[in-house]
Structure 1
Amino acid sequence: MAMQERIREDAAGAILFDAAVSPQVDADWFDPEAWRVRNALRQQSGGRGGVAIIDTPAGECVLRHYRRGGMVAKLMGDRYLWKGADHTRCFAEFRLLGRIAALDLPGPQAVACRYRRTGFFYTADLITRRIADAHTLAELLTEGRLDGEVAELVGALVARFHRAGIWHADLNAHNVLVTAEQLYLIDFDRGRQREPAESWQQDNLQRLRRSLVKLGAATQGEAAFEEQLWKPLVYRYERTVRA
């Protein structure tokens, strides 16, 4: 189903939503406490600026508040410099998810997003449909369930996105979801669609490799990691990206 963009603006900011998913979205959708009062807050992590699982009229969803990382977070917190509505992190990610869906790629379904502006800065939130019964690639690695077969599936997944020119700004093992039916890429903050090129595609792959190694995929040695996980992943990636 094609995305049907609708925008609701007020003095504080704007809500962008997909009317094909939900014909009405209001400010309460972005407040975990409002869902708690309705007994519809299923899970919350990270406190303010974290992630909440909410039971909405559009189904079970993930509410994510945008927040900075690293040293900048100490100065800016969850604020971003205002450059116009179309340049907000939430509007950009929402629309990229729409393009991903139109390309029939496995990513989260966008439901709604919101920015709230104060002077030269804004804060933002995004709601996507929750992918049920999913585990992250990082969890599979920790549990000892990441093998060559799964690695091949990851390679094919990444290749499909790269072939369509979808660049993931933070391709790591936490942003790959695995279900019994298929794999997904999630969290496309700062991602974009660009002309396919081997340079950025390989950089993206190396980012995923560093994530796996950092999480302990090479604890039995670099050679074992290469043979058992990385070579199968790259083999399937290369076959798929050139298909």
Structure 2
Amino acid sequence: MAMLERIREDAAGAILFDAAVSPQVDADWFEPETWRARGALRVQGGGRGGVAVIDTPVGECVLRHYRRGGMVARLMGDRYLWKGADRTRCFAEFRLLGVIGALGLPGPEAVACRYRRHGLFYSADLITRRIADAHTLAQCLADGLLDGELAELVGALVARFHRAGIWHADLNAHNVLVRSDELFLIDFDRGRQREPGEGWQQSNLMRLRRSLLKLGAAAHGEAAFEEEHWKPLVYRYERTLRA
């Protein structure tokens, strides 16, 4: 289903939503306490500060508040420099998810997003449909479920996005979801669509490799990781990229 963008503006900011998913989205949708009062909120780990799973009129969704990471987080927290509505993190990610959906790629379905102005800065939130019954690739690795077959599926997943020119700014094992034999990429903050090119594609792939190694994928030695996991992943990646 094609995305049907609608924008609601007020003195505090604006809400951008997909009217094909929900004909109306109010400011209350972005307030965890609203859902908590209704008994329709639960918090699960993931991301900076976790994410809120909310039971909305359109089904289970994930509410994510944008927060900075690293050293700058101490100074800026959840504030970003205002450069116009179309350049907010939430509007950009919402629209990229629309492109991903239109391309038939397995990513989250955007429901709505919101920014709120604070002088020269803004804060932002994003709501997407929850991908049920899925575990992160990091969880699969921790549970000993990462084998050559799953590694190949991960390679094919990344290649599909790269073939379409979709660059993921933080490609790591926490942002790959595994559900049965179906995989998804999530969290496209700062991502964008660009001209396919070997340079950024390989750099993106190496980011995923570093993530896996950091999480202990080479516990039995890097040579074993190379043979059992990384070579199958790259084999399927290259095969899918050139399909």
TM-score range, shorter chain: over 0.9
Is the contact made by 2:43 and 2:50 (CA closer than 8 Å) also made in structure 1? no
Is the contact made by 1:49 and 1:78 (CA closer than 8 Å) also made in structure 2? no
Name 1:206's counterpart in structure 2.
206
CA distance in 2, matches of 1:192, 1:48: 21
Deviation at 1:118, TM superposition (A): 1.0
CA distance in 1, matches of 2:43, 2:69: 22
Partner deviation per Cα, 1:193-234 (whole Å, 9 max, x = no partner): 000000000000000000000000001101000000000000
CA distance in 2, matches of 1:47, 1:55: 19
Structure 2: 5+ residue stretches without partners:
none
C-alpha RMSD of the superposition: 1.3
For residue 178 of structure 2, what is the amino acid of its counterpart? V
Deviation at 1:180, TM superposition (A): 1.2
Structure 1: 5+ residue stretches without partners:
none
Is the contact made by 2:40 and 2:54 (CA closer than 8 Å) also made in structure 1? yes
Deviation at 1:42, TM superposition (A): 2.7
Is the contact made by 1:18 and 1:110 (CA closer than 8 Å) also made in structure 2? yes
Name 1:197's counterpart in structure 2.
197
Secondary structure at 1:161 match in 2: helix
* Change over 3 Å in CA distance of 1:46–1:31 after alignment to 2: farther
Name 2:107's counterpart in structure 1.
107
Name 2:24's counterpart in structure 1.
24
Question: Which is further off, 176-185 or 60-69?
Answer: 176-185
Secondary structure at 1:230 match in 2: helix
Matched, 1:10 2:49: no
Name 1:178's counterpart in structure 2.
178
CA distance in 2, matches of 1:233, 1:45: 27
Name 1:230's counterpart in structure 2.
230
CA distance in 1, matches of 2:181, 2:44: 26
Name 2:65's counterpart in structure 1.
65
For residue 87 of structure 1, what is the amino acid of its counterpart? R
Deviation at 1:43, TM superposition (A): 2.6
Deviation at 1:98, TM superposition (A): 0.1
For residue 218 of structure 1, what is the amino acid of its counterpart? A
Secondary structure at 2:189 match in 1: coil
* Change over 3 Å in CA distance of 1:49–1:114 after alignment to 2: farther
Partner deviation per Cα, 1:57-95 (whole Å, 9 max, x = no partner): 010000000000000000001000000000000000000
Deviation at 1:104, TM superposition (A): 0.1
For residue 178 of structure 1, what is the amino acid of its counterpart? V
Deviation at 1:51, TM superposition (A): 1.2
Name 1:140's counterpart in structure 2.
140
Secondary structure at 1:111 match in 2: strand
Name 2:98's counterpart in structure 1.
98
Partner deviation per Cα, 1:113-165 (whole Å, 9 max, x = no partner): 00000110000000000000000000000000000000000000000000000
CA distance in 2, matches of 1:240, 1:48: 32
For residue 164 of structure 1, what is the amino acid of its counterpart? A
Question: Which is further off, 184-193 or 44-53?
Answer: 44-53
CA distance in 1, matches of 2:195, 2:43: 38
For residue 32 of structure 1, what is the amino acid of its counterpart? P
Deviation at 1:99, TM superposition (A): 0.1
Count residues with an aligned counterpart: 243
CA distance in 1, matches of 2:14, 2:51: 20
